[in-house]
Structure 1
Amino acid sequence: MTEQPSIATPLTIGTVCQSKNRLFKSAMSEQLADRHANPSPELINLYAQWAKGETGIVVTGNVMVDRNALGEPRNVVLDERSDLALFKRWAQSGSTNNTQLWMQLNHPGKQIPSVLCKEPVSPSAIPLGGDLAAMFNPPRALTEAEIWTIIGQFAWAAEQAKQCGFSGVQIHAAHGYLCSQFLSPLQNQRSDQWGGSFANRSRFVIEVYRAIRAAVGSDFAVAIKLNSADFQRGGFSEEESTLLVQQLQAEGIDLVEISGGNYEQPSMVGVDQKPSTVAREAYFIEFAQQLATQTEVTLAVTGGFRTLSVMNRALAEGSCAVIGIARPLAVMPDYSARLLSGVECPLPLRKVTTGIAKLDTAVMLDITWYEHQLERIGLGKRPKPNMSAWRSVVKTFWALGGVAMSRRRA
């Protein structure tokens, strides 16, 4: 009989990637670039700490492929103006202890705060809705030439990531960023070859993958982060997500990470999840279970995993091959090592709120509070799970104000 896998079981992904276990650090935004959008010493140290913590595969926070399109003030950018020596230091630091370090590549599309960009781009000129609308400027529609330029930027960045020593890349096609915008019939209302039918809406993602694969070859891991659904009426659906995974499998994708939601409907951080779903821990496991019966691609599921028993059960049942974890590693960098020791590991996680819902939304507190924990780790400090929501709010506004002032001076 074949032994059932557990989080400690090694895994071969694609043709060359050997992960020492089934734990997968999912991408979290760090906002730890230096003033030239290169990896800062704090970012490099943060990944050194995670490499020590025994996670098999560590995925970076989103690295933008265009410095004129930043999702946040201190995003790392990999383009022709980048200091590749610093990226090599980052790769070396994060790959110690036999850790697989993958770079997540991203373009925010219209999800750019208004202080960073007057006119963002998107498949169609459709602004963000809901409480966030006031924080983001309306986009303009991309031209055909611009679409191909961005595809080329993804491929160039992936090739540089390989040359710098990263062991894989992940395309960010979830959470409402540009790739996700192309997939959504709500956000993409084009009438050319890039919009309309599902085949046209998925074309951008497929072309990004093909360009990356052509640039890096078959001996390098290429993965994608994909929504199970947008959880918006008329948006990207589970049926379309399944079709896209099947297409990507045929193209040769090495791993698909399943998440869900976007800025307008942030299901990826547990917002509006049913109590039964939260109690079950893995937010998107039901979709992954269905997907596993219809594809053979290596699946990672991220969102909600907290206990060793639930993680091992998901692996044993074949719902996924890899367990995605993120926030636990922001408050406990050695969380993976503790799990691998075979004991349950209670986490000091709580709902972070000021008590003012609109303020929490405006500063994206569900994300920024954790970014501030990552900054502490990068500075050589211990995480501070009891840090107040208000302190995080002040730090966020201070950072945004500094960006706005510097742009006015420029």
Structure 2
Amino acid sequence: MTASSPEENLLNQPLYLPNGSALRNRLAKAAMSETLGTYNNHPTLKLVELYRRWSASGIGLLMTGNVMIDRRALGEPGNVVIEDETDLPVLHQWARAATGQGAAIWVQLNHPGKQSTKGLNRSNLAPSAVPFRKDMASLFETPREATTAEIEDIIQRFGRSAAICKKAGFSGVQIHGAHGYLINQFLSPHHNRRTDEWGGSPEKRRRFVLAVYREIRRQVGTDFPVGIKLNSADFQHGGFTEQESMATIHALAEAGIDLIEISGGTYEAPAMSGGLKETKKASTVAREAYFLEFAEKVRASINVPLMVTGGFRSAAAMNAALRSGALDVIGLARLLAIDPEAPGALLQGQDSAQRVRPITTGIKQIDKMGVMEILWYTLQLKRIASGRDPKPYESGLWAFAKSLMKSGWGTFRTRRTRA
């Protein structure tokens, strides 16, 4: 697509959020896990460089990836943790790398729950002690059930981390409630088998995410944007369904959430990378976005701003989605890992020269797990953060071997920092 005039390209339109703040256009970088923190979980200047390059593209909103709220609960080696004000100077530089060039930057706050590889944390907690599926049990240990006191502590930590982000100059925060992490685990009847006030019915399973949102709002006030990334469904037997997702979205909208990003899947069923049959229907292929049909259902009854991430490739499809009114923000992730300047072209009505492709190693057991959609792209982010260009055609097998070595060393180093 090449727009004949800037007015015809809906990507250039600003978006005003419920709390009155504005995004300069409708393009957003969705969260990707950078793992560019130190092994004792402090932010580094590589994050400043990475986000400076993205913000220079003209993009409207940048979501950081996987910032943890508790140093005892990491998702990967190299996660940044924000639990006190120790790193305020670097956090301020990170925020200014985006806001200084006109982009908004929201910190994605997360707790992994059970979704953390063996050996990284002393132990992993979850709503219930439900193990991973058999072919992943060698990588992920069975978690222990969280106590009521631990649940209340986690809620407080989300609020505290958000308040620090505001103080550091970030534009907002996003709660990670998708992809199988702790909040998603509380929402899922497969992972949450509790019979107390935190589980046993859809209403009780929603209590945790609503408590997290309210605590964040209490600590940051009404003028600071708070969004959430939420699964349309888990695509997992006995998991979080579309009906439950819709009810959760209604509850969050009533509570005052500013932006809902729709995604789907978990590590055990990775729909977010297009890895499931459900995401490859003819209608999905034609419209590109994996979760657009669900967004249309949401929009039919809720006016909260919606962001859809997953599958978008062309300026034409992005404009068509915006024109339909089903969503308000186009989320891009993997494309920006191989073409950090892509937003500049899209805002001119032109497509990126790069195309996202499936990343495989050729080893069936590894490829089935869907981990390459994280590992390969993480390596590209590290290249950009070091001032280099990405390698769009880098070998998947080489990336896996390199990541495996780095992960093992990173887990060892992380554990040593706590000894």
- Same fold by TM-score greater than 0.5: yes
Residue type at the aligned position of 1:228: S
Number of paired residues?
Answer: 408
Q: Does structure 1 conserve the Cα–Cα contact (< 8 Å) formed by 2:31 and 2:63? A: yes
Residue number among 273, 287, 297 corresponding to 2:294 in the alignment? 287
Residue number among 54, 57, 63 corresponding to 1:50 in the alignment? 54
Distance 1:63 1:162 in 2: 14
Instruction: Provide the residue aligned with 1:91 in structure 2.
Output: 95
Residue type at the aligned position of 1:180: N
- The 1:244/1:85 distance shift into structure 2, 3 A limit, reads same
Q: Does structure 1 conserve the Cα–Cα contact (< 8 Å) formed by 2:85 and 2:164? A: no
Residue type at the aligned position of 2:186: F
* Offset of residue 343 of structure 1: 1.8
Is 1:274 aligned to 2:288, yes or no?
no
Instruction: Provide the residue aligned with 2:345 in structure 1.
Output: 338
Instruction: Provide the residue aligned with 1:224 in structure 2.
Output: 228
Distance 1:357 1:310 in 2: 32
Distance 2:291 2:148 in 1: 34
Is 1:178 aligned to 2:182, yes or no?
yes
Is 1:327 aligned to 2:331, yes or no?
no
Distance 2:407 2:352 in 1: 36
Residues 230-269 of structure 1: pairs in structure 2 closer than 5 A: 230-269=234-273
* Offset of residue 129 of structure 1: 1.2
Distance 2:415 2:294 in 1: 46
Residue number among 179, 187, 198 corresponding to 1:194 in the alignment? 198
Q: Does structure 2 conserve the Cα–Cα contact (< 8 Å) formed by 1:151 and 1:207? A: yes
* Offset of residue 159 of structure 1: 0.3
Runs of 4+ displaced beyond 3 Å: 360-363, 404-410
Deviates more, 1:384-393 or 1:261-270: 384-393
Q: Does structure 1 conserve the Cα–Cα contact (< 8 Å) formed by 2:380 and 2:390? A: yes
Distance 1:319 1:143 in 2: 40
- Tell me the TM-score normalized by structure 2: 0.94
Distance 2:415 2:34 in 1: 25
Distance 2:351 2:415 in 1: 51
* Offset of residue 359 of structure 1: 2.4
Residue type at the aligned position of 1:73: P
* Offset of residue 34 of structure 1: 1.8
Residue number among 125, 137, 141 corresponding to 1:137 in the alignment? 141
Distance 1:408 1:32 in 2: 17
Instruction: Provide the residue aligned with 1:162 in structure 2.
Output: 166
Q: How large is the Cα RMSD of the aligned pairs?
A: 1.6
Distance 1:407 1:39 in 2: 14
Instruction: Provide the residue aligned with 2:3 in structure 1.
Output: none
Instruction: Provide the residue aligned with 2:118 in structure 1.
Output: 114
Distance 2:126 2:211 in 1: 17
**Structure 1 unaligned regions, length at least 5:** none
Q: Does structure 2 conserve the Cα–Cα contact (< 8 Å) formed by 1:25 and 1:59? A: yes
Distance 1:236 1:148 in 2: 23
**Structure 2 unaligned regions, length at least 5:** 1-6
Residue 297 of structure 1: SS of its match in structure 2?
coil
Distance 2:285 2:405 in 1: 33
Distance 1:191 1:5 in 2: 51
Residue 138 of structure 2: SS of its match in structure 1?
helix
Deviates more, 1:226-235 or 1:296-305: 226-235
Instruction: Provide the residue aligned with 1:375 in structure 2.
Output: 382
Q: Does structure 1 conserve the Cα–Cα contact (< 8 Å) formed by 2:217 and 2:226? A: yes
Residue type at the aligned position of 1:397: L
Residue type at the aligned position of 1:32: L
Percent of pairs identical after alignment?
A: 47
